[in-house]
Amino acid sequence: MRSLIPLVQALVIVFGAPLLRGVVSKLKARLQGRQGASVWRPYADLGKLFRKEDLVPPLASPLFWMAPRIVFAATAAAVLLIPVFQPAAVFGSPGDFVLLVGLLALARFFLVLGAMDGGGAFGGMGGSREALVSALAEAPFLLGITAVAIMARSTQLAGIVTWTLGQNFFDISAVHILAFSALAMVAVAETGRVPVDNPTTHLELTMIHEAMVLEHSGPSLAFLEWANSIKLGLLLSLLIGLFFPWGMAAGFSLPVLALAAGAYAAKMAALALVLAAVESSVAKMRMYAVPDFLGIASATGALAVVFTAFGGR
Amino acid sequence: MVWSSIALAVSLVGFAAVIPAAWIAARTRWLSWLPGTTLACSLLFGTFVGIVLISSTRPLRLDLGVAPFQFGIEIDPLASFFLILICAVSLPVILYAAAYLPRHYSPVQTQWIWGLTSLFLLSMALVVVASTGFAFLVGWELMTLLSAALILVDGTSKERLHNLFIYLLMMHVGAGVVAASFFAFLPASGGLHFSALRASGALLTPGARSVIFLLAFVGFGTKAGIIPLHLWLPKAHPIAPTPVSALMSGLMLKTAVYGFVRFTFDFLGGGPAWAGYVVLLAGAVSGVLGVLYAIGEHDLKRLLAYHSVENIGIIYMGLGAALIFLENDAPAWAAVAVVAALFHTLNHALFKSLLFLGAGAIADATHTLDIDELGGLVKRLPITGIAFLIGCASIVGLPPLNGFVSELLIFQSFLAGSTLAALPAQVILPLMAGVLALIGGLAAACFAKVYGVAFLGRARTAAAESAQEVPPMMLSGMGLLAASCIGLGVFPRLALDTLFSVAQTLVPGSSPPTEIAGLQRILVATTVAVLGIGLLTMAARVRRRVTAPWACGLPGLTTRMQYTSASFSKPIRAVFAAVYKADRKLDVLPANRPYFPSSISYRSVRTTSFERSLYRPMTNVVVTLATGMRRLQTGNIQVYLLYIFLTLVALLAMLGVQE
Amino acid sequence: MDLVQFAAGKTLSSSAVFLLVTVLLLAAAQRVSTSIKLFALQSAIITAQVMATAYTEKSAEAWVVAAMVFGLKVIAIPSTLLWLVERLKTRRAVEPTISGAKAVFVAVFMIFLSYAAVQPYALESHIAADALSSAVALILVGAFLMVNRRKALMQIIGLLVLENGIFLAALATTFGMPLVIEIGIFFDLLMGILIMGIFAFRIRDTFDHLDVTKLRRLRG
């Protein structure tokens, strides 16, 4: 029973990810004065895609349909490293956040390869843009988590969460504010949201992520969309776990776990609202402004690391 | 001990025996397998020696000759690690070469290559097991000469000779500096035996210590390919025969790492206080610039050569961190950083050799190494494609392959830098984690480009369309290397435990920190998770239909509409434009009617900025000095006699003054 | 009462990081009006710091200083500058020499320098290291902004940020400045702004632009 809880929390992220996406879309619509689709719409979309057939370009290799499944597998495996309801994950070891970044990099590598295998122009375009964005986003991602890890004196995600749980929320820490800014910017870039990339665009020349999934269809596309939603849920859970973990269950009794689940849901809803507000109020940047954006994130992350040396507060 | 000595002797005899074997094989057709097999046996014995001696407490010693030409061998744990690296990694390469060489070279050339390669491997082994300065320098010089000879076997066109000349020049300058670093020990040690050097290392003055460190850094850095001493790497590695390129990039660079480690950790016991920062900075610059230069390349071998620069940079970053830890009295983490650097050395040897062998296979099948002329190769060369994919994923540092594990260990040692008391180390080491992440991200972009353009998509030329899979022996060589990449990635303890004991000899007083335990467990668990979920999703039966991809409503896509290497890398090259200062020339003819041109020519030449700003001024100075000195050579015999007379007078005067 | 004390304590100890965030945003800002609003925000944070100091040190003068800072630097000067931007009809972009991420990296380096330099000194003298370090950082970044920007208006803002830094440094070291000094500084500032504003109009009328890199006739 005890060891099942972390597995349950991983399943919650994996199967609840489309709901998160639906909530964000609904909030965006409401903020923009529209009714918006139902929050359960992404599930219906996934179901529809799974029932369809897979369309494959001529001369594409087996990698074309294997890549989306590898992307899904890597992203879902990465979820196993995140603490959600408890300050413990399914797998954990010192330095596991590097493994998390590595698994996301594996997913992205195969996403780009799958796009290039389409043999069309858009796969390459999406791939080259994604290569630029992800190359520059890795540094602030690691710098932000490094800064927090140094403060917590632990390189294990569960250890960092445990340390943060023991801190007072009103003890404002400069390192955490700066690291949160850097990681928030990276989360926007990695999940392909406005202002880095518009997930609802249909104009090919403005696409980054969408151009990579353009050629895939049917179950392959379902896996890719699902993996994208999981990535969003994963990154938001990571932000919650590193910066606002209060409310996580310390024990295994049912009321404590229920409270933890409720707190988690409330925090995710709040982050979804912030994301929807940001997406509705800023415009998408042109592509060559994204390196600047990520450079500022790197500088903020670097400053967070520098501040850890000054007793970090 | 006895067995290892016998095995060592057999191995040495075997290396030498390859030459007569090659001579015989050149004469008879049906004995052409002889040199390869002999060499493989020698390598097997060499690996055996290394494995036996790496965990023994008594190193194998052998001393011959008299000073100053003392010739000695000492195989201690560090030397045996590098011996295993050289022998074990070259085995698959030899296997590959056995099938590759006859397809590309005449029988005489093939046997020349076998003989020279055997001696080349012998010289590399000599460098790592040498225990006197003389033996070390002999081996060092032989490595350069033999690799140059192997390059010459492959052809002697003007451009090749020019690149070869630059290679020889830089290698000899580097060898000179290495020799100087040995000789700088002489005042303190009185001899060049490694034990004497080790003993005198503790007694050196800080000035002497700094001088020796700098000489060793520059000398070994030239051979390793640290920026800005890397100029020869992209010129020399592409022009050698493919198996030899693999050996040069995979193994020869590692001998430079061995030399540097031997000097700084063993002889000097850590170097001056600022040594770690210099090494760390040089490693970081090499890593970033190496991968940026690689992104701009579309010749496969040049691209791989630049990636060697990048990986040597990563190794040096690990070594720099180790030196900083050593300086700040943290031997446990210094050992971790050394282990990480040595493990990355092993991993790089494995995946770089694999990638070079894959490049050779591509050249074999399509007769071109320009990835812009390839495409869709994974369907024509499936096994090569899979092996090359594993090599790409390893060099990028993706889990669960071996490149990821060594980079993870380097990350952890950087993070541990925050526990030190000195402010520079506390700040710089964790920031280097960001630099390493940037290097990893750019490497991922580069290899996504390489694999995507060369192996995926549709064939861009007829050569790529008609490519045939290479012979099984070549495939087995690549397969062995790919399997070891996966094996060391999922089960790193196979190598890490031994490496920790090697590190104990270099950094005494350290035991592995608890942070490293549990690493293998989580890697295995994650691999199982990824494989499990992946197989689960692939197992479901799915209806699949072939249809044309989206072409914006146009009649159809041609293969020219795919992204090329230059277009894929354009965003990154645009962002880092300060690094690529290309000379661009655009000529529009006729000049007086620019809107109705009859011809437009565009020429873009990229000379790396180091060539322009560092090397040309230096060569100009040398040429000026040499021109000035030419005035001494008047051609007049009386002037020459005058020189001899003056020398005699000077010597007599010196003797007189001394009295 | 206890809650207010708690809030005052928290303000004093945590305002440094918010000031540094405004500094980073200033280095990255791309519009003149954004820079002016960031300056107003910065001054508001400093006002809060003065008020917290006034509460903890129980000095009545400090309340007056806080009111003056608020009135002048949060309301009067920013609205004047915004009006100036409207009237001068200049282009909205900041036109820096080093733009975007590189400028932010330089700002990060300045912050690191100021912290590294102040820390050993502050430890001996029992001064709030945070406040003094952030003050020195404001001074350095203000100077950097003046060097980096090409528009004459932006150099005024750089000077104002510099002055914020000096004010904060004085606050940190004296725990509430004597009123007389503060009034003197304010009048200097006011005169400086007035003169610079008039000059901005004259420059624009004579040269039709405000780009200072082009105002180089006066040289040998």
Q: Over the stretch B412-467, which tens digit does the pLDDT of each residue have? A: 999 988 888 888 888 999 999 999 999 999 999 999 999 999 999 888 888 888 88
Contacts of B575 in chain A (CB under 8 A): 132, 136, 288, 291
ipTM for the assembly: 0.94
Q: What is the DSSP string of B502-569?
A: HHHHHS-S----GGGTTHHHHHHHHHHHHHHHHHHHHHS---EEE-PPP-TTSS---GGGS--HHHHH
For residue A103, give the nearest of B399, B457, B521 by CB distance: B399
Q: Is B488 within the bounds of a domain?
A: yes
- What whole-number distance in Å separates Cα of residue B23 and Cα of residue B41? 18
Contacts of A147 in chain B (CB under 8 A): 430
- Residue B206 CB: number of other CB atoms within 10 A? 9
Range of the domain at B283: 273-512
What is the structure's pLDDT at B189?
Answer: 78
Q: Are strands B60-64 and B71-75 parallel, antiparallel or unpaired?
A: antiparallel
Closest approach of C24 to chain A, Cα-based (Å): 8
Contacts of A197 in chain B (CB under 8 A): none
**Cross-chain residue pair B522–A80, CB shorter than 8 Å:** no
Count the helix, strand and coil residues of chain B and give each as a percent rounded to the nearest 5. Answer: 75, 5, 20
Contacts (Cβ under 8 Å, ≥6 apart) of B344: B311, B314, B315, B318, B403, B406, B407, B410
What is the structure's pLDDT at A237?
Answer: 93
Residue C159: pLDDT band (50, 70, 90) is confident
- What whole-number distance in Å separates Cα of residue B638 and Cα of residue B650? 18
Query: How many CA atoms, within 13 angstroms, populate the side-chain half-sphere of residue A297?
Result: 32
Residue A313: pLDDT band (50, 70, 90) is very low
**Cross-chain residue pair A310–C101, CB shorter than 8 Å:** no
CB B60 within 8 A of CB B53: yes
Q: Where are the domains of chain C?
A: 2-209
| Range list of β-strands (E), A51-123 | 54-56
What is the structure's pLDDT at B388?
Answer: 96
**Cross-chain residue pair C101–A295, CB shorter than 8 Å:** yes
Count the helix, strand and coil residues of chain A and give each as a percent rounded to the nearest 5. Answer: 70, 0, 30
pTM: 0.91
Q: Is B455 within the bounds of a domain?
A: yes
For residue A177, give the nearest of C21, C102, C130 by CB distance: C21
**Cross-chain residue pair A303–C100, CB shorter than 8 Å:** no
For residue B252, the 8-state DSSP code is I
B275-290 per-position pLDDT tens digit:
999 999 999 999 999 9
Name the residue of chain C whose CA is nearest to A178's CA. C21
Chain B contact partners (≥3 CB pairs within 8 A): A
Range of the domain at A53: 4-310
Provide the domain count of chain A. 1
**Cross-chain residue pair C130–A300, CB shorter than 8 Å:** no
What is the structure's pLDDT at B505?
Answer: 84
Contacts of A155 in chain B (CB under 8 A): 412, 415, 515
- What whole-number distance in Å separates Cα of residue A287 and Cα of residue A117? 23
Q: Is B469 within the bounds of a domain?
A: yes
From the list B282, B234, B235, B274, the residue with the least C-alpha distance to B257 is B282
Q: Is the pLDDT of residue B400 over 80?
A: yes
What is the structure's pLDDT at B608?
Answer: 65
- At C60, list the tokens: 């009545």
B350-392 per-position pLDDT tens digit:
999 999 999 999 999 999 999 999 988 999 999 999 999 999 9
CB A161 within 8 A of CB A248: yes
For residue B68, cis peptide bond before it (omega within 30 degrees of 0): yes
Contacts of B390 in chain A (CB under 8 A): none
Hey, of A133, A167, A172, which one would you mutate to test binding to chain C, going by the most C CBs within 10 A of its CB? A172
- What whole-number distance in Å separates Cα of residue B582 and Cα of residue B608? 8
Closest approach of A234 to chain C, Cα-based (Å): 27
Angle CA C72–C74–C79, to nearest 5: 85
From the list B194, B255, B219, the residue with the least C-alpha distance to B211 is B219
- Mean pLDDT over residues A144-169, rounded? 89
**Cross-chain residue pair A299–C24, CB shorter than 8 Å:** yes
Q: Is B296 within the bounds of a domain?
A: yes
For residue C17, give the nearest of A174, A293, A296 by CB distance: A174
Q: Is B183 within the bounds of a domain?
A: no
**Contact with chain A for residue B551, Cβ under 8 A:** yes
Contacts of A101 in chain B (CB under 8 A): 437
- Give chain A's length: 313
Closest approach of A114 to chain B, Cα-based (Å): 8
What is the structure's pLDDT at C216?
Answer: 67
Provide the domain count of chain B. 1
